Amino acid sequence: MPPEPFFNLLCRDPSSQARWGRLHTSHGVLETPAFIPVATKASVKALAPEDLWEAHTQVILSNTYHLYLRPGHQRIAQLGGLHRFMRWEGPLLTDSGGFQVFSLGNLVKVKEIGVEFRSHLDGSLHLFTPELSMEVQEALGADICMVFDECLPYPTPFQKALDSAQMNLRWAMRCKARKGREDQALFGIVQGGMFPELREEQARRLVEIGFDGYAIGGLSVGEGKELMFQMVECCTPHLPEEKPRYLMGVGTPLDLVEGVIRGMDLFDCVLPTRNARNGTLFTSQGNLLIKQARFVLDEGPLDPRCSCYTCRHYSRAYLRHLFMAGELLCLRLNTIHNVHFYNQLMADIRQAIRGGCLLELREQLQAGDIRRIEN
């Protein structure tokens, strides 16, 4: 039998651009639309791989920049690659390190050859190039790799965005030329600031170069939601239907639904895990702040419609006690719940696409009552 294609498009929602599909990787198949929990330094904060499986996680994301600095990609390769190193058996995506160009601010100098930066760990000087980014991602053994790119702050003047977009295309071509492993997919990343004409041109040019999938980056950096989705809408018509689409760094539960409605397949964000550590829990009836005094004697679960490990075993009163006492267990239990909520939401979205009722699910989410989540 011929091998499965990387991406199978199985169904479209009749009332939007939403798609249901499957991605085939060396470490398993994942259904899309899908959310990708962030394991920046080879760990989703507070969770073990077993917790991620229990929460129905399909794929995780690790960070090229951080793992290059510590413990080092060569050391991880010597230990059998990132899957074996962190005991994660499912699909794995690595970002290219490009976002750190944006986040490190004055610690970096962007040049045509790449990015010169000083390590946030010890101040040592490094030059990160598209070729080195691919070398690191190859050594880590990710199933899906990203091209090296520059992510711009908001706002950015047009000329700077134009220069950066053109450089990103040259970097993308260098990444593709350096790609050496057939078992790794490589995604191009559409940048261009908040200028539709630059985004559209970037999308067309990246498709001409040819990648296994396409991401939209440089969003959720301070612009409003309306502008963010305007940029998504100007990109998707220029991206091929038969390739997966990835909206990077987004976002809230409603952002995910809105992104799916606009034709996106993959999402990542630190929001569910970061909010969990800060005591903000996502539920089918809206957000819940576990520190509130009203939960002192509340013996009910975080979410009566949730089947996660936390909701099956622990009360709101106990979770509030853990949080107020600063107990580490609250980090794990809260994070399990939020990751499960996001994964269940994506499962509900996939079911809604198959049933032709995705817009109804959006209305439920907007009303703060997601009735499709089942026990």
How would you class 335 by CB atoms within 10 Å of its CB: exposed for 0-12, middle for 13-18, buried for 19 or more? Answer: buried
- Per-residue pLDDT tens digits for 76-94: 999 999 999 999 999 999 9
In terms of domains, do 145 and 190 share one? Answer: yes
Token match 């005991």: residue?
Answer: 87
Q: E-assigned strands of the chain?
A: 7-12, 19-25, 28-32, 34-36, 60-63, 92-95, 108-110, 115-118, 125-128, 144-146, 185-190, 213-216, 245-247, 266-268, 280-283, 286-289
Catalytic residues: 95, 268
In terms of domains, do 289 and 245 share one? Answer: no
In terms of domains, do 141 and 195 share one? Answer: yes
Cα 282 to Cα 1, 98, 112, 205, 335, distances in angstroms: 44, 30, 43, 39, 10
Q: What is the pLDDT of residue 97?
A: 87
Q: Radius of gyration (Cα) for the chain, nearest Å?
A: 20
Q: What is the pLDDT of residue 372?
A: 56
Range of the domain at 36: 7-269
The verdict on pTM exceeding 0.85 is yes
In terms of domains, do 93 and 174 share one? Answer: yes
Decide if 35 is inside a domain.
yes
In terms of domains, do 232 and 280 share one? Answer: no
Query: Which sign does the torsion angle of CA 59, 65, 71, 77 carry?
Result: positive
Decide if 117 is inside a domain.
yes
Residues of the chain with pLDDT below 70 are 1-3, 101-102, 372-375
DSSP string, 283-308: ETTEEEETTSGGGTT--S-S-TT--S
Decide if 1 is inside a domain.
no
Q: How many domains does the chain have?
A: 2
3-state secondary structure of 172: helix
- Per-residue pLDDT tens digits for 217-264: 999 999 999 999 999 999 999 999 999 999 999 999 999 999 999 999
In terms of domains, do 239 and 189 share one? Answer: yes
Decide if 251 is inside a domain.
yes
